[in-house]
Amino acid sequence: MDFQIIISNLTNPTLLFFLLGIFATFVKSDLEIPQSSSRFISLYLLFAIGFKGGQELAHSNFGSEIALSILFGLAVASLIPFYTFFILKRRMSASDAGAVAATYGSVSAVTFVSAAAFLEAQQISFSGHMVAVMAFMESPAIIIGVIMIKHYDKESDGKTSIGSIIKHSLTNGSVLLILGSLLIGIIADSKQAEGIKPFTTDIFKGFLAIFLLEMGIVTAQRFSAFKKYGFFLTVFAVLVPALNGCIVAFVSALVTNDIGNRFIFAVLAASASYIAVPAAMKLAAPKADPGLYIPMALGVTFPFNISLGMPLYYTIINCC
């Protein structure tokens, strides 16, 4: 692994603001981001990603690579929750195993944003259709997780239909906004779109830094609740994402030769959802403990990916 890339990533201002948020919580500072401001920044980041991706997609020719990329993303998002469920089921209930498996099969939009910032620092671009791939990868893992819970949890009431889960997944605020922004970016007039370009590009990194500051605060607050679940889940939250990311970093060469696209694929495979999945599992698996899968994703996997995971996947892609 190139240690210069690791050092560069660890000194990235956005990551340093994340660490500042963790530090602020440990020293019991009263630093906080107002909830309304945090919500606005989250919506802004999703909007900017989707719109920019749509604009790039509008200037691309829809070919076999785009179709293969979407199919590959759907396959990855379906296989990960399937195999991880059986690993987790050995140590926990079917409801908890299904929720955690769905968390690691689905994707994190914030990790995607961090990956885009990492690539920009390396002066490498990625295709706009990868935004669509990310959006499509949100739902399959949730559906697989719910199916596994319904099949293996004998106490499941079965009142929640798969159809309602699919609808809830697609109409989840984060998914709807990024898909909607992607579509608007595709159909918007290019000259008119130039008018909001400063809003979607120039201030993006600043908002990302503030958002990661808040993520650091939330991570430190929730990590203490996670410790009671033991060493096994901590190891799982590092090794499984790392394994998924490394495998996809290799296999993605069958779909595309573009370094940026392959890196995004690897990061998406390694990421864990802490927005869409908790919202869906609250409806589909109320017995699943959110104090388990949210801290795993936010307190362990997210920091690992933005500090060490991304340089690892980038190095693998450049070596093969």
Domain 3-19+32-319 has CATH 1.20.1530.20: yes
Q: Of 52, 45, 9, which Cα lies nearest the Cα of 210?
A: 45
d(CA 51, CA 204): 12
Amino acid identity, position 66: I
Q: How far apart are CA 230 and CA 266, in angstroms?
A: 27
Which residue, chain included where needed, has tokens 């769905």? 102
> Per the structure block, which two tokens stand in for 206?
């600043």
Tokens of 27: 């020293």
Residue with tokens 């910032």: 117
With 80 as the cut, is the pLDDT of residue 12 above it?
A: no
Amino acid at 267: V
pLDDT beyond 70 at 160: no
pLDDT score at 170: 65
Question: Among 10-14, 31-35, 105-109, which stretch is predicted with the lowest mean pLDDT?
Answer: 10-14
The set of residues, in sequence order, having a beta carbon less than 8 Å from that of 126 and lying 6+ positions away, is 116, 119, 258, 260, 261, 263, 264
- Sketch the domain layout of the chain as residue ranges: 3-19+32-319
Indicate the Cα dihedral angle 309, 311, 314, 319, nearest 10°: -110
Mean pLDDT check: name the lowest of 7-11, 19-23, 286-290, 292-296.
Answer: 7-11
DSSP H helical segments within the chain, as ranges? 3-10, 13-26, 35-58, 64-88, 94-105, 109-121, 129-136, 138-152, 162-171, 173-187, 190-193, 197, 204-226, 231-251, 259-270, 276-284, 290-295, 302-304, 310-319
Cα–chain center distance at 40: 18
CA–CA distance, 253 with 104 (Å, rounded to integer)? 22
Mean pLDDT computed over 265-288: 82
Q: What is the tens place of the pLDDT at every residue in 62-100?
A: 678 888 998 999 999 999 999 999 999 988 888 899 999
